[in-house]
Amino acid sequence: MSNTNSTDKDAGTGLRTTDRAMDRVQASLRKRYRAEKRFRAYGLISVVVGILFLFVLMASILAKGYPAFRQTFVTLDVYLDAAVIDPQGSRDPAVLRVADYKRLIRNSLQEIFPQASGRSDRRKLVALISNGAPFQIQGLVMDEPSLVGQTLTLEVPASADLDMLMKGRIDRSVPETQRRLSDAQIGWVDTLIEQGRVHKRWNKALLSNGDSRDPEMAGILGAAKGSFYMLVVTLVLSFPIGVAAAVYLEEFAPRNRWTDLIEININNLAAVPSIVFGLLGLAVFLNFFGMPRSAPLVGGLVLTVMTLPTVIISSRAALTSVPPSIREAALGMGASKMQATFHHVVPLAIPGMLTGTIIGMARALGESAPLLMIGMVAFIVDVPQGFMDPATALPVQIYLWADAPERAFVERTSAGILVLLAFLIAMNALAIYLRRRFERRW
């Protein structure tokens, strides 16, 4: 109504105003386009910088990490001497288990290098072979006691020092005293290479072993399984609890001071430093409930508490974004509140809820601080077989390896990061797949 009035009043002066207005528009137009161009450039630059950083990071990790997937092996003819393994001839597993297999390796090396006869020479010679090699032979003999007395051609893992030499990580030109391998050892290695006894193979140990003091025997499997068990506990607990809490708060709870208080607390919890949750886990789960130390179950519980706020907040956001017309439609049909919520609202919110859960899980996967307090930052050799076995987690393993003095652990650290990233990518891929699936249903 008022619009009509104003147009009438301006009619007399209309033409002149329009001309001037167009001039001004033209003038401001160029400025506007320049601003837009500038803004686009800023955006593009930041994207490029981001990609560059990511590229440098990935390239450096890949370059450092990929050699860890190759390991040097030495082919030896090992004579399974009955006099060494089982002098009594009982073939008792107890006897076979404790036999001195290291001596067999030393003997076979000495056959190749008869001149190295002194005590220290012999020690240096054996140092070329991994401490894991005797266990490999032990395993063979325990499985098949009839092998005793035969000569086997075996590929045994080389020690980390030999491996490093093969990968060019030990500089032959530096003085002998500053090297981990002596001139004599390097000479023997060269002979072994000449005889074609040294090969690089796929490093099975890295993906199938638990942690070890010896880099060449150290593997990521223990940590990966620990992380896996922990995430299973976290997912199984945090998804249903988080979604249920979000649905209740968003759809059913009355709006009053109490729900406001709860909401504020949930939002604040999402910002609490993760180590605090570790302390909470220590106080509540270990000390009060007496749960086992270092167990993935406890780790999972702590991470559940940590991820719950994230899951609740994102699930609530997903529920809010469901159009109210859907709720009205269902309620207008005579659906009860619960039917409207679970038949129509929650299915539409599920993709968003999954996204939030996955973000929470990804964060949980990368956490090491809360695990510090509940004993999961530990040197654990055995691969955990269940939720109650002592275990560690991938980021913790990476930290432990990064902290180790041996040169060979450097590449394993990067390899560990690669495994962690692979874990993450797999999880995200699963999330995207699930989201697509649920979205397609509608």
The binding site for other proteins (CB under 8 A) comprises 1, 254-255, 323, 325-336, 339, 343-344, 348, 442
Q: Which is nearer to other proteins, 290 or 334 (CB)?
A: 334
Least separation, in Å, of the C-beta of 314 and other proteins?
21
Q: Which is nearer to other proteins, 196 or 334 (CB)?
A: 334
Dihedral sign (CA 25, 26, 32, 33): positive
Closest CA to 302 of 399, 389, 384, 368: 368
Nearer to other proteins, 351 or 390 (CB): 351
Nearer to other proteins, 144 or 328 (CB): 328
Place of tokens 């439609």: 329
Neighbour tally for 262: CB within 10 Å = 15
Q: How far apart are CA 62 and CA 104, in angstroms?
A: 38
| Closer to other proteins by Cβ: residue 270 or 434 | 434
- Least Cβ distance, residue 437 to other proteins (angstroms): 15
Short-list 440, 68, 67, 376, CA closest to 230: 376
Question: How far apart, in Å, do the first and last CA atoms of the chain sit?
Answer: 45
Nearer to other proteins, 8 or 403 (CB): 8
CB of 222 to other proteins, least distance (A): 46
Q: Hey, is 152 helix, strand or coil?
A: strand
342 or 387, CB closer to other proteins?
342
H/E element, 71: strand 70-79
C-alpha R_g of the chain: 33
- Residue whose CB is less far from other proteins, 316 or 344: 344
What gap in Å lies between CA 284 and CA 274, rounded to an integer?
15
Q: How far is the CB of 369 from other proteins (least distance, A)?
A: 41
Residue 6 Cβ vs other proteins, minimum distance, rounded to whole Å? 16
Dist CA 293 CA 306 (whole Å): 19
Q: How far is the CB of 250 from other proteins (least distance, A)?
A: 13
Instruction: Of 359, 351, 356, give the one whose Cα is nearest residue 436.
Output: 351
Is the Cβ of residue 293 or residue 343 nearer to other proteins in the bound state? Answer: 343
State in angstroms the smallest separation of the CB of 18 from other proteins: 30
3-class secondary-structure state, position 155 = strand
Q: What minimum distance in Å lies between the beta carbon of 258 and other proteins? A: 15
Least distance to other proteins, CB of residue 328, Å: 6
* Range list of β-strands (E), 333-416: none
Residues in Cβ contact with 281 at an 8 Å cutoff, skipping those fewer than 6 apart = 298, 299, 301, 302, 305, 370, 373, 374
Q: Is 294 left (phi over 0), alpha (psi -120 to 50) or beta?
A: left
